[in-house]
């Protein structure tokens, strides 16, 4: 075992040796080593969040024909650090009448809910926090902490606008969690495991996006709704509720919410890569050839994962800065009357074809074509529905007959 082939275990063994050399027994040495690993993962995630502040501003500037940050440091790279200093020195205000304990816990829980997800993110084949056999279930469970932090922030602020923003956000998050869970079940069925690393390894020869493109589309839509980004950002409808559930937060408390949102978006980009694009691998078997054996290096896999995650994050930004927000009733109607039924139909179809075609050579074309067929059926249904709605709207209004006055 060398550092370049297995960096995590190499460093862990070295640290355990150092601690035991100081007279610490094996048990406490293992605990301290694990704690150091947890801190490193947290710092890595926070460093990504800081970098995303610059990336987000640069991307939206290009979308809107602006320059973006370009003053502080080369290409404005030090702008996020200036923002952090600004947030730290801002006055920390707690509203009168607010529940101080819950008010101060909400932003911490919001960021922690995202960082906890990173415990199961496989950055590379040998660089990951934990590989649990119910990783997908863990992802759903930990993600619910974000919903809790939103309602905590809105209720504890003692502000009606914050509470309305929290209600809207929670309604959206709970509603769109259903198609998201269904979308998570599709790679689980195809891979035959709920382990996130196992799902990644199952795509070594073929990405799941070729087996379930509709599953990817469901995941993207549900992820954007969970994030509360456009067009699902009614929690921040400035013209109606000022800024949403975090209107009363100042300084670094607001900064924690903002960092959590950016990191959450990047995390969803990472899971988009893991669930449908092979994660750190998915080289279609090239890594098994001697000429491409370097593709199995953990550091190469880490770079590949981060690039795929960044592409997924860019797609989420692209949607955010290209679409206007929609009304809350339209948003929930779209979920309950269209997206959720479609998700369940796709899940049942995936399970059926996976069982019927798995042993045969028709598995890949059958899975792909079944998705195309379902998409065509859905488009036809929508076309007929829109035509009927258009005919109803084009009907001349019936004349109003007024009763004669005697």
d(CA 336, CA 320): 22
pLDDT at 399: 67
At 364, the pLDDT band (50, 70, 90 cuts) reads: very high
Indicate the pLDDT class of residue 290, thresholds 50, 70 and 90: confident
Q: Are 95 and 64 in contact (CB under 8 A)?
A: no
Q: What is the pLDDT, as a whole number, of residue 159? A: 86
Return d(Cα 264, Cα 111) in angstroms, integer: 9
Q: Which of 29-43, 200-214, 231-245, 343-357 has the lowest mean pLDDT?
A: 231-245
Is residue 403 predicted with pLDDT exceeding 60? no
Q: What is the mean pLDDT of residues 211-217?
A: 94
| pLDDT recorded at residue 218 | 93
Longest dimension (CA), the chain: 107
Query: At a CB cut-off of 8 Å and minimum separation 6, what does 44 contact?
Result: 118
Computed over every residue of the chain, the mean pLDDT equals: 88
- Percentage of the chain beyond pLDDT 90 is 43
Those residues whose C-beta lies under 8 Å from the C-beta of residue 92, and which sit 6 or more positions away, are 250, 251, 252, 253
CB 256 within 8 A of CB 110: yes
Lowest mean pLDDT among 28-37, 163-172, 363-372: 163-172
- Render pLDDT for 87-106 as a digit per residue (tens, 0 to 9): 889 888 888 888 889 999 99
pLDDT of 374 reads: 94
What is the predicted pLDDT for the residue at 275?
Answer: 94
Does residue 62 carry a pLDDT above 80?
yes
Task: Decide if pLDDT at 71 tops 60.
Answer: yes
Quick check: pTM over 0.75? yes
Residue 292 pLDDT level (bands cut at 50, 70, 90): confident
**Do the Cβ atoms of 248 and 159 come closer than 8 Å?**
yes
Task: Quote the CA–CA distance of 224 and 235 in Å, as a whole number.
Answer: 13
């Amino acid at each position: 075992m060398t550092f370049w082939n297995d960096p995590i275990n190499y460093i862990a063994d070295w640290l355990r040796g150092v601690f035991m050399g100081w007279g610490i027994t094996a048990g406490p040495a293992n605990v301290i080593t694990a704690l150091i690993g947890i801190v490193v993962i947290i710092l890595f995630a926070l460093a990504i969040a800081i970098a995303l502040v610059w990336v987000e501003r640069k991307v939206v500037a290009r979308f809107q024909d602006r320059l973006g940050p370009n003053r502080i440091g080369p290409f404005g790279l030090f702008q996020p650090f200036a923002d952090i200093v600004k947030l730290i020195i801002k006055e920390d205000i707690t509203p009168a009448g607010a529940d101080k304990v819950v008010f101060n816990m909400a932003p911490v829980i919001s960021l922690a809910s995202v960082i906890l997800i990173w415990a199961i993110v496989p950055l590379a084949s040998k660089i990951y926090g934990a590989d649990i056999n119910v990783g997908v279930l863990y992802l759903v469970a930990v993600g619910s902490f974000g919903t809790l932090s939103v309602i905590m922030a809105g209720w504890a602020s003692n502000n009606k606008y914050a509470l309305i923003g929290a209600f809207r956000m929670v309604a959206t998050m709970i509603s769109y969690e259903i198609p998201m869970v269904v979308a998570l079940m599709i790679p689980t069925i195809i891979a035959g495991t709920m382990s996130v690393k196992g799902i990644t390894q199952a795509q070594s020869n073929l990405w799941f996006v070729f087996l379930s493109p509709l599953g990817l589309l469901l995941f993207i839509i549900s992820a954007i709704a969970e994030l509360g980004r456009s067009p699902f950002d009614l929690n921040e409808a400035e013209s109606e509720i000022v800024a949403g559930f975090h209107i009363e937060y100042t300084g670094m408390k607001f900064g924690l919410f903002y960092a959590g949102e950016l990191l959450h978006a990047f995390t969803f980009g990472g899971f988009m890569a893991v669930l449908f694009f092979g994660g750190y691998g998915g080289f279609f078997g090239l890594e098994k050839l001697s000429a491409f054996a370097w593709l199995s290096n953990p550091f190469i896999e880490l770079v590949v994962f981060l690039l795929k995650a960044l592409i997924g994050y860019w797609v989420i930004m692209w949607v955010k800065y290209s679409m206007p927000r929609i009304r809350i009733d339209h948003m929930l109607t779209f979920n309950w009357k269209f997206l959720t039924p479609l998700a369940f139909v796709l899940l049942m179809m995936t399970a059926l074809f996976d069982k019927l075609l798995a042993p045969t050579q028709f598995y890949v074309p059958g899975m792909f074509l079944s998705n195309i067929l379902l998409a065509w059926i859905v488009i036809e249904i929508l076309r007929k529905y829109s035509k009927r709605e258009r005919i109803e709207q084009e009907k001349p209004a019936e004349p109003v007959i007024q009763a004669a006055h005697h």
